[in-house]
Amino acid sequence: MAIVVVGGHAKHVGKTSVVAGLIAAMPEMRWTAIKISVSGHAICSGADGRCDCVNANHTVAVTEQMKASAETDSGRFLLAGATRSFWLRTYAEHLDEAMPWIRSELERAENAVFESNSIVKFLRPDVYLSVVDPAVADFKDSAKMFLECADAVLVPEGGWREGAPKIAEATVVLPMRPPVYVTQEVVEFVRKRLGW
């Protein structure tokens, strides 16, 4: 089983597009896709009004996306070809409580792709990609914390800029060409790392 994690430094930098692009480029992987939202927002938010928490403390909620749709991130994953897609919500300090559910889904999955930075604290992925857009000033603490763990940083063509957070010298920098977020270079890099 392969585990790929796609993180990013802020909202709206292309993380979901990268996950969807990888799913579409590698359909033979039969991906289970999991988007993890770590925040202080309400956790219980089942579409039918019922609680969709997976623990008694109501600190972790999971919604399985059942329909392919461009309207939600998890729907975009199904649209791209994922076999299953989930949206997991939790508070930053409770992500560890999601791990039993995550491990049980990993046992069922052929391969998994996560959209998250924080999951790297609990899982060792086969490939960890960090999406960075130097034009977006905001930089999440979780992205700063794990940036040096990234196997590759995906940056809009034009590259890194002065003042951007430091990355490890050995980290590979790969170009994105929005609206094409997953270039052939990215696919080849991931395939090579996974041994596919």
Q: Residue 55: which pLDDT band, with cuts at 50, 70 and 90?
A: confident
Tell me what pLDDT residue 33 has: 98
Contact call for residues 110 and 83 (beta carbons, < 8 A): yes
Residue 62: which of 32, 31, 34 has the closest Cα? Answer: 34
**Contact between 132 and 93 (Cβ < 8 Å):** no
Residue 148 has pLDDT above 90, yes or no: no
- Indicate if the pLDDT at residue 16 is higher than 80: yes
Q: What is the mean pLDDT of residues 115-140?
A: 89
Q: What is the 3-state secondary structure (H, E, C) of 77-131?
A: HHHHCCCEEEEEEECHHHHHHHHHHHHHHHHHCCEEEEECCHHHHCCCCCEEEEE
For residue 45, pLDDT beyond 80: no
**Residue 196 confidence class, pLDDT cut points 50, 70, 90:** confident
Compute the average pLDDT of residues 29-46: 80
Residue 86 neighbours by CB under 8 Å, 6+ apart: 32, 33, 34, 35, 62, 63, 64, 65, 74, 105
Q: Which two tokens stand for residue 161?
A: 């800029």
What is the tens place of the pLDDT at every residue in 76-86? 999 999 999 99
- pLDDT for 111 beyond 80: yes
What residue spans define the domains of the chain?
A: 3-194
Q: Does the pLDDT of residue 145 top 90, yes or no? A: no
pLDDT band at 171 (very low <50, low <70, confident <90, very high): confident
pLDDT of residue 29: 98
Q: What's the CATH superfamily of 3-194? A: P-loop containing nucleotide triphosphate hydrolases (3.40.50.300)
pLDDT at residue 157 above 90? Answer: no
**pLDDT band of 161, cuts 50, 70, 90:** low
